[in-house]
Amino acid sequence: MIRFRLHTTTAIEAFSGPLHRLGCYTGDMITGPLIAEIASLVGEPARATMLSALLDGRALTATELAYAAHVTPQTASTHLAKLTEASLLSVFRDGRHRYFRLASPQVALMLDGIMAVAVENRPRFRPLSRQARELSEARICYDHLAGHLSVELADFFTSHEYVVFGDEGAEVTEDGTRFLTDFGIDVFAAGAKRRHFCRACLDWTERRPHIGGAVGAALADRLFDLGWAERLKHSRAVIVTALGKRGFQRTFGFNVPNETESRMERPDVGRVVLSE
């Protein structure tokens, strides 16, 4: 029997043995109610919208989340209290404002996993609006890239055997370590973080894997630092700059569609560069 703690307050007992006897219990309660509790929190439309708004890794105020979910500040406050109590969100204060963010990368993986399951047996996602197209082409998923651009990058790394995807995750090869180091990424510093080093994440718009984990986050940070990519203001969408368009072709061997650069030049699009 293995005993461990959930959120430091609830003892869980996991029994090892024959598969048909395998179980996980909290006291006299099986794990079904625990799953149901989280599912009920995430499944409420306003709360789901708030969580989705935080998937880009940024912290937002209660007012901003209320606006995103189209609810009153009072209703948002109630929702946020429940999500924080369940450790789905964390909160910190900066001056007069309280900011909310996803509590951990595991929460982001859970939300992205729900999206992957939700669209699995449906017709492939076909974005119609400009905003939907931007998200489909390139976006931030917590701290790494997702969308068509990220899948193209994953194809480059796997075709050169820099990264090998497996059932349990992904592995960076020796050649991959050298390539990432030459590209300006401290692979060993990424490996020191307390999270998955490298993993394959199923992209719910492309239905193919992209690179996540600490390596995926470090790769995204490097692209932003180089000025090859920028984030759209108030959106998870990412655009490729003219400098990045040349850089992707020279370094990774693929061309970014022309419409990505032309969108960047539109005067009505506000942009912020990721600083972290």
What CATH number has the domain bearing residue 98? 1.10.10.10
pLDDT of residue 111: 87
**Residue at a domain's end among 87, 103, 119:** 103
Average pLDDT, the chain: 78
Residue-range definition of the domain harbouring residue 15: 2-30
pLDDT in tens, 27-51: 555 678 888 889 999 999 999 989 9
Give me Rg for the CA atoms of the chain: 20
Split into its structural domains, the chain has a count of 3
pLDDT in tens, 78-136: 999 999 999 999 998 888 889 998 988 888 878 877 877 776 666 655 555 677 677 78
Q: Which residues contact 147 (CB under 8 A, 6 or more apart)?
A: 135, 136, 137, 138, 139, 203, 205, 206, 210, 238
- Cα(273)–Cα(144) distance, rounded to whole angstroms? 15
Higher pLDDT, 151 or 23: 151
**Residue at a domain's end among 83, 103, 123:** 103
Q: Is residue 194 very low, low, confident or very high in pLDDT (cuts 50, 70, 90)?
A: low
Q: Is residue 255 very low, low, confident or very high in pLDDT (cuts 50, 70, 90)?
A: confident
Q: What average pLDDT does the segment 241-247 reach?
A: 93
Q: Which residues contact 49 (CB under 8 A, 6 or more apart)?
A: 68, 69, 70
My answer on whether 117 and 200 are in the same domain is: yes
- Cα(140)–Cα(147) distance, rounded to whole angstroms? 8
